[in-house]
Amino acid sequence: MAIVNLALKSLWNRRLTASLTLVAISLSVVLLLGVEKLRNESRQSFANTISGTDLIVGARSGSTQLLLYSVFRIGNATNNISWKSYQELSSHSRVKWSIPISLGDSHRGFRVMGTTAGYFKYFRYQQKRLLSFAEGQPFNTLYEAVLGADVAKELGYTLAQNIVIGHGAGAISLVRHDDKPFSVVGILNKTGTPVDRTIHVSLQAIEAIHIDWRGGTKLPGFSISAERAAAMQLQPKSITAFMLGLNSRLSTFQVLRQINQYKQEPLLAIIPGVALQELWDMIGFAEKALLAISVFVVLVGLTGMVTVILTSLNERRREMAILRSVGARPVHIFGLILGEAVTLTLIGSGLGLLLLYGLMFFAQPLIETQFGLFINIGWPSAHEFQLLAAVIISGVLVSIVPAYRAYRYSLADGMSIRI
């Protein structure tokens, strides 16, 4: 233990350089563990966004694009699906349930989605979980809205409050539908998916909002009041996409095929599990590259530490000679240098871990807002501990280099103190 004490005191004496080394190591550990954690959490979050849905159908585009806008509310559809096609396809004998959705509007930065009451009955996420209400119930009459958990929280909305919905999806709506306010009738529980950041209204409501709009602009002198719109008993004319649940998942291929070959309109049907996997595979290369880079960064950090210790060895030869004179063996000198390096590695890794958690607390809400991904901050996983252990072991191994150097010096120098 004498050597450990000496190592610690020696480090404290040179705490300026030691802390710089610590910063290097801890930052590299943050990168490594952060990448790993992000990777796993994103994977989890991705997989949780949709469950129990057999097919998603949209106007013909790329499958990734369809997945992104229909499930993640990222991006936009290039075209719509006619209501007639939806009705025909959803009444197929192999279909058990269907949920049509209509996207394109926004309210203060949150997307507005038109759908049917069936959404709350059939939509599942995270291994077949159903949506649940914290307060209230699904929409019933025309001007009613159901809010996702984050919408209510961030905008401070409560039940029975009135909100106004704008056209287009920007955060600031330059043109508004002032004359048709909606009443909040339900607030959903948090799901950790893009549902939390969505405002749900009926498909008819979307039609009512746009009744006096053509080509994206409100026609001056042509406005229809809220009551009159309600009286018109509007039916949806087109939707953005729809989700299907089949009686048996074995029909998936047949129904998919039929939809893709539908004569009336160019449509695209995707299997969510497959589309998610494809998306993940695309990102997969990037995440592997990121992991490789982080590993290199850790090595750079450790090399920096070794360099610092090696360069300081020359001026510590006197110190080693003193130790030899009081009876320290060359192996003690080895242990001293090794002890210093290992201490730096351990503390650096520990600091890195703490820093990582600090960053995660800070970044979690930001990531959720920007990407719709919910990063769960929990105890480090076994794999993360393994990575940490690998960093520490690497630190110990590279520390052998300067320690051995010191050993050889002390062997050669003996007690001869060179000035």
| Residues 113 and 131: beta-carbon distance below 8 Å | no
Residue number with CB closer to another protein (34 or 272):
272
Residue number with CB closer to another protein (115 or 343):
343
Query: What is the smallest separation between the CB atom of 305 and another protein, expressed in angstroms?
Result: 17
**Residue 218, H or E segment:** strand 217-218
Residue number with CB closer to another protein (253 or 361):
253
Give CA separation, 250 vs 54, 99, 245, 247, 271, in Å: 10, 20, 12, 9, 12
Query: What is the smallest separation between the CB atom of 126 and another protein, expressed in angstroms?
Result: 8
Main-chain dihedrals φ then ψ at residue 244, nearest 5 degrees = -125, 140
| Residues 182 and 230: beta-carbon distance below 8 Å | no
Query: What is the smallest separation between the CB atom of 223 and another protein, expressed in angstroms?
Result: 46
Residue number with CB closer to another protein (14 or 218):
14
Residue number with CB closer to another protein (185 or 403):
403
| Residues 37 and 43: beta-carbon distance below 8 Å | no
Can you name the residues that pair with 98 across neighbouring β-strands? Answer: 244
Query: What is the smallest separation between the CB atom of 396 and another protein, expressed in angstroms?
Result: 12
**Kind of pairing between the strands at 129-130 and 124-125:** antiparallel
| Residues 178 and 164: beta-carbon distance below 8 Å | yes
Quickly list H helices, 127-271.
149-155, 203-210, 226-231, 252-260
The pair of structure tokens assigned to 37 is 């954690």
Query: What is the smallest separation between the CB atom of 5 and another protein, expressed in angstroms?
Result: 6
Query: What is the smallest separation between the CB atom of 15 and another protein, expressed in angstroms?
Result: 10
Residue number with CB closer to another protein (145 or 270):
270
Residue number with CB closer to another protein (222 or 385):
385
Can you name the residues that pair with 115 across neighbouring β-strands? Answer: 101, 202
Give the whole-angstrom CA distance, residue 286 versus residue 183.
44
Give the whole-angstrom CA distance, residue 40 versus residue 38.
6
Query: What is the smallest separation between the CB atom of 69 and another protein, expressed in angstroms?
Result: 20
Residue number with CB closer to another protein (27 or 411):
411
Give the whole-angstrom CA distance, residue 279 versus residue 285.
11
* Closest listed residue to residue 136, CA positions, set 112, 152, 157, 160: 160
Give the whole-angstrom CA distance, residue 154 versus residue 250.
42
Contact partners, residue 65, CB within 8 Å, separation at least 6? 75, 77
Query: What is the smallest separation between the CB atom of 121 and another protein, expressed in angstroms?
Result: 18
Residue number with CB closer to another protein (179 or 319):
319
- Residue 401, judged by CB atoms within 10 A of its CB (0-12, 13-18, 19+), counts as middle
Query: What is the smallest separation between the CB atom of 187 and another protein, expressed in angstroms?
Result: 26
- Residue 235, judged by CB atoms within 10 A of its CB (0-12, 13-18, 19+), counts as exposed
Query: What is the smallest separation between the CB atom of 9 and another protein, expressed in angstroms?
Result: 5
Residues in the chain, overall count: 419
Quick one: CA torsion of 83, 86, 87, 90, rounded to 10 degrees?
-160
Residue number with CB closer to another protein (222 or 404):
404
